[in-house]
């Protein structure tokens, strides 16, 4: 088994599906997050000198579940939905990862996110493997009652692989504490008693944790502080552009504003706004609440969503979906620090360009790990039925994020590489070590 871990001078072999970056007619292929995740893994595995046997174990998901399930709509019709749950390596502990709803959810997206979750949990040193789930639907076109029925039926379908000691879901894109409450209740009803630890990100009244809602954005702030110190840039007065103004993005805007930063641009799914003198966040939030979007805010200039990553700023926070920073946009980015609050926002080609240009990227598996870290705190509290105050949670989170940033920075210095490769190397080596020590059963 020990031969599985490291094989110096081993030859890197990638599957054809991973190496392909263009279509057969020579045109660019659609963005595929799973191909990107595997490419990132292969680069780190090669740098680590992992044996091909170990690469095959770590490269692939442990389990992929696809479910098709009927839901009765309010008009009496029955519609069949498709959902997924993927687990990626559980040698360090139960699988952990969110559930997202959206019309564009794909199995490859879920597989990529599950892989990233495995590395994310490892890089911050919490005892989880990776997982992710998703349902192909458009929540904006569904009533609350339909959304509840969809959630409960999906929870029933994936109940065969989730559980407080096997796989613990959490909120993600287009899901929230209420969705987690429905999943927790559905699972508990099947078991016959309340099991709050089956999900995290729940409402406080049923076993949720203080600080969970703000955890992702708070973690982004903590590591950005460390990055700013590393490059000698003061945070006070820094210009910040935020791509995505949902939960993580809007809370990050408030936290960075409180830190003395100037929020110059924000975006949502409908458009983006920019004001070089800084946005009035209270007014922006009020406008979004009234209209459903930041678009049309009168005290700012309307810009294209893709321009948010290119406006003059010191800190760029991608806080929406994957693949927003491409090779083309990387040449025009003006930020000195990119803190990835979203998963997979930067393509490998853009990574290389930004590294050569001297832009510090705090990679997603480190930058947005505050969410899963406080989810871990919630899980621990649920298992103990003993809950902590928000001050203790924030202190523990800051300690873990600062310690993890320091470990990744040390690895980057040791190997003279960018922070993403360093973070992936650190995480993958930890998962590989656990896999080697446990061995193969039977």
Residues tagged in the binding site annotation for substrate: 96, 120, 375
Could you tell me which residues are annotated as the binding site for NAD(+)?
A: 216, 247
Q: Report the alpha-carbon distance of residue 372 to residue 215 in Å, rounded.
A: 8
SS3 category, 265? strand
The C-alpha angle with vertex 356 and arms to 353 and 361, in degrees rounded to 5, equals 75
Query: What span, in angstroms and rounded, lies between the C-alpha atoms of 369 and 9?
Result: 33
Which run of H or of E encompasses 95?
Answer: strand 95-102
Show the tokens assigned to 356: 């050569």
DSSP 8-state code for residue 57: H
Distance CA 350, CA 297 (A): 31
State the Cα–Cα distance between residues 191 and 159, nearest whole angstrom.
10
Please confirm, yes or no, whether 132 is among the known catalytic residues. yes
By 3-state DSSP, what share of the chain in percent is helix, strand and coil, each rounded to 5? 50, 20, 35
Q: Which residues sit opposite 337 in a β-bridge?
A: 315, 360
Residues 6 or more apart whose CB falls under 8 angstroms from that of 306 comprise 324, 329
The whole-angstrom separation of Cα 182 and Cα 199 is: 10
Which of 76, 78, 84, 126 lies closest to 105, judged by CA? 84
Sequence-ordered list of residues with C-beta below 8 angstroms from that of 272, at least 6 positions apart, any chain = 243, 265, 266, 294, 295, 302, 303, 304, 305, 307, 308
Residue 394 CA neighbour count, 13 Å, CB half = 11
Contact 168, 95 (CB under 8 A): yes
Question: Which residues are annotated binding-site positions?
Answer: 96, 120, 216, 247, 375
User: Which residue among 35, 132, 202, 288 is the active-site one?
Assistant: 132
Q: List the one residue out of 364, 343, 421, 344 whose CA is nearest residue 44.
A: 421
Catalytic residues, by residue number, are: 132
């Amino acid at each position: 088994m020990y031969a599985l871990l490291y094989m110096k001078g081993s030859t890197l072999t990638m599957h054809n599906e991973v190496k392909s970056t263009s279509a057969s007619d020579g045109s660019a292929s659609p963005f595929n997050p799973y191909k990107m995740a595997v490419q990132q893994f292969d680069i780190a595995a090669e740098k680590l000198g992992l044996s091909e046997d170990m690469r095959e174990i770590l490269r692939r998901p442990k389990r992929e579940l696809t479910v098709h399930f009927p839901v009765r709509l309010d008009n009496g019709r029955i519609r069949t939905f498709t959902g997924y749950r993927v687990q990626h390596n559980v040698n360090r502990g139960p699988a952990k990862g969110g559930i997202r709803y959206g019309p564009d959810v794909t199995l490859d997206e879920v597989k990529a996110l599950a892989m990233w979750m495995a590395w994310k949990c490892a890089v911050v040193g919490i005892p989880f493997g990776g997982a992710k789930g998703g349902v192909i639907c458009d929540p904006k076109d569904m009533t609350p009652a339909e959304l509840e029925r969809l959630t409960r039926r999906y929870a029933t379908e994936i109940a065969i692989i989730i559980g407080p000691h096997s796989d613990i879901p959490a909120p993600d894109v287009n899901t929230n504490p209420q969705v987690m409450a429905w999943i927790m209740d559905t699972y508990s009803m099947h078991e016959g008693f309340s099991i709050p630890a089956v999900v995290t990100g729940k409402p406080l009244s049923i076993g949720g944790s203080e600080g969970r809602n703000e955890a992702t954005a708070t973690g982004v702030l903590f590591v950005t502080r460390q990055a700013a110190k590393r490059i000698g840039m003061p945070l006070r007065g820094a210009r910040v552009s935020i791509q995505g103004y949902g939960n993580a993005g809007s809370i990050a805007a408030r936290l960075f504003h409180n830190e003395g930063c100037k929020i110059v641009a924000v975006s949502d799914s409908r458009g983006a706004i920019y004001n070089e003198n800084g946005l009035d966040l209270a007014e922006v939030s009020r406008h979004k609440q009234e209209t459903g979007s930041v678009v049309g805010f009168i005290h700012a200039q309307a810009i294209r969503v893709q321009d948010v990553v290119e406006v003059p700023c010191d800190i760029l926070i991608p806080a929406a979906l994957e693949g927003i920073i491409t090779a083309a946009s990387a040449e025009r980015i003006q930020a000195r620090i990119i803190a990835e609050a979203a998963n997979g926002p930067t393509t490998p080609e853009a990574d290389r360009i930004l590294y050569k240009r001297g832009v510090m990227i705090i990679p997603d598996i480190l930058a947005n790990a505050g969410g899963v870290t406080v989810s871990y705190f919630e899980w621990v509290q649920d298992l103990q039925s003993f809950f902590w105050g928000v001050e203790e949670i924030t202190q523990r989170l800051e300690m873990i994020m600062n310690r993890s940033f320091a470990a990744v920075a040390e690895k980057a210095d040791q190997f003279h590489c960018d922070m993403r490769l360093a973070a992936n190397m650190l995480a993958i080596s930890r998962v590989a070590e656990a896999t080697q020590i446990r061995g193969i059963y039977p």
